[in-house]
């Protein structure tokens, strides 16, 4: 872990209470950070089998914790397949795209699937997946990339982003036998529910 700097991946929410203030900061401005870290949305190797596959599903800036997980655990075993499914409105919102594409190129066990929900607004025609991350899951695109359908017996799904996406994906996964992870009841679905809007 690098303690010399912190990296933030933040989407400006016009009229929001926090992000406009962050975007107004200038170099040298001070920011208060609580000394205590809260939450449990992290990759915990003690709760996930070493050979379990991972599907990381994000919308917008919900990709941030996954970039951190991937850079922290770059030595994931080669037999573990990892898919990053990142949904945004426009292709220019695909943060870390070049890094994730390079990771996919260099690591045969990594699959990166960017998804654009408003392809008609693109200045250059979008040739990738369209719709929402839920559509990608239902379409079988990941199944075709991996050669088998991810299931609760061999895959953990992490989700971060829009509450609508998390709710919808949780329902889809439950229909396939995935269970939500809880402190006292291990499961294969891990969700960060930081966004309440």
CATH number of the domain to which 115 belongs? 3.40.50.80
The pLDDT assigned to 87 comes to: 97
Strand, helix or coil at 25?
A: coil
- The mean pLDDT values, 10 residues at a time, for the chain of 197 residues are 75 88 92 81 87 95 92 78 96 95 93 96 91 96 95 97 95 97 93 70
Establish if 110 belongs to a structural domain.
Answer: yes
Establish if 28 belongs to a structural domain.
Answer: no
Establish if 50 belongs to a structural domain.
Answer: yes
Our count of domains for the chain comes to 1
The pLDDT assigned to 53 comes to: 96
The pLDDT assigned to 193 comes to: 75
Whole-model pTM: value is: 0.90
Contacting residues for 143 by C-beta, under 8 A, at least 6 apart: 149, 150
Establish if 37 belongs to a structural domain.
Answer: no
Q: Look at residues 13, 48, 45, 15 and name the one whose alpha carbon lies nearest to residue 189.
A: 48
Establish if 19 belongs to a structural domain.
Answer: no
The pLDDT assigned to 169 comes to: 98
Establish if 91 belongs to a structural domain.
Answer: yes
Cα distance between residue 8 and residue 64, in whole Å: 8
Cα distance between residue 142 and residue 166, in whole Å: 18
In this predicted model, what pLDDT tens digit does every residue of 13-62 receive, in sequence order? Answer: 889 898 899 999 999 999 888 888 777 788 888 889 888 999 999 999 99
Structural domain range at position 170: 42-192
Establish if 20 belongs to a structural domain.
Answer: no
């Amino acid at each position: 872990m690098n303690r010399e700097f912190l990296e933030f991946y933040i989407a400006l929410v016009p009229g929001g209470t926090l992000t406009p203030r962050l975007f107004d900061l200038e170099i040298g401005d001070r920011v208060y950070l609580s000394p205590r870290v809260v939450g449990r949305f992290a990759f915990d190797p003690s709760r996930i089998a070493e050979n379990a596959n991972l599907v990381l599903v994000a919308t917008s800036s919900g990709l941030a914790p996954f970039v951190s997980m991937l850079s922290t655990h770059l030595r994931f075993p080669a037999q573990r397949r990892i898919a990053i499914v990142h949904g945004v409105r426009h292709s220019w919102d695909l943060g870390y795209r070049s890094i994730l594409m390079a990771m996919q190129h260099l690591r045969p066990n990594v699959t990166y699937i960017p998804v654009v929900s408003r392809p008609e607004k693109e200045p250059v025609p979008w040739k990738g997946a369209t719709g929402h991350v839920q559509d990608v899951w239902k379409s079988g695109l990941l199944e075709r990339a991996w050669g088998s359908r991810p299931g609760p017996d061999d895959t953990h799904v992490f989700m971060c982003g829009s509450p609508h996406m998390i709710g919808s994906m949780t329902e889809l996964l439950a229909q396939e036998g995935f269970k939500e992870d809880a402190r006292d009841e291990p499961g294969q679905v891990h969700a960060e529910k930081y966004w309440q809007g």
